[in-house]
């Protein structure tokens, strides 16, 4: 009885490792991205009061509106999809993104908009450390001073 050559053992071990790697990688990547990213639209109304509209379709969060009636911003209508990670802080059409963790989407996103700390978490929306349950089509006016310093524009 002749034993198999060492090359066959190495090739078999390599193929098993390769198959396991591909299976586990695709499974983890699917779990990481299955809920999709936050989609945030920065807009303004007819009086140039800024509006932030938050959507996350897979979590059934749609058209959550944050309104800043006492502030003014240039007319804009831009949607930002928080999909690829990027270094923070970075500017947004209105305010700044000061924290971004999209390891498992939608992840956590934190904005500083006119001194208000706005945190998007799948479980809850927090504004200035106060929790608001996610309710589609809700409008939340932000009229008081925020807990952060407003970020100056360069």
Interval 25-34: pLDDT, tens: 999 999 888 8
CA–CA separation, 104 vs 80, rounded Å?
A: 18
Q: What is the pTM of this model?
A: 0.82
pLDDT tens digits for range 99-123? 999 998 999 999 999 999 999 999 9
Q: Is 113 helix (H, G, I), strand (E, B) or coil?
A: strand
pLDDT at 66: 96
Of 150, 133, 143, 148, nearest to 94 (Cα)? 150
Report, as ranges of residue numbers, the positions in the chain whose pLDDT lies below 50. 1, 154
Angstrom distance (rounded) from CA 141 to CA 67: 5
């Amino acid at each position: 009885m002749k034993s198999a050559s060492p090359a066959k053992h190495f090739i078999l071990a390599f193929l098993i490792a390769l198959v396991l790697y591909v299976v586990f990688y695709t499974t983890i990547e699917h779990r990481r991205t299955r809920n999709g990213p936050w989609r945030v639209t920065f807009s303004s109304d007819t009086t140039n009061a800024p509006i932030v509209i938050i959507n996350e379709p897979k979590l059934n969060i749609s058209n959550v509106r944050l309104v800043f009636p006492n502030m003014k911003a240039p007319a804009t209508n831009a949607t930002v999809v928080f999909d690829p990670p990027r270094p923070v802080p970075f500017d947004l059409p209105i305010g700044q993104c000061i924290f971004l963790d999209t390891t498992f989407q939608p992840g956590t996103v934190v904005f500083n908009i006119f001194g208000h700390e706005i945190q998007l978490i799948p479980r809850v929306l927090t504004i200035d450390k106060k929790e608001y349950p996610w309710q589609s089509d809700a409008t939340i006016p932000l009229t008081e001073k925020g807990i952060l310093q407003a970020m100056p524009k360069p």
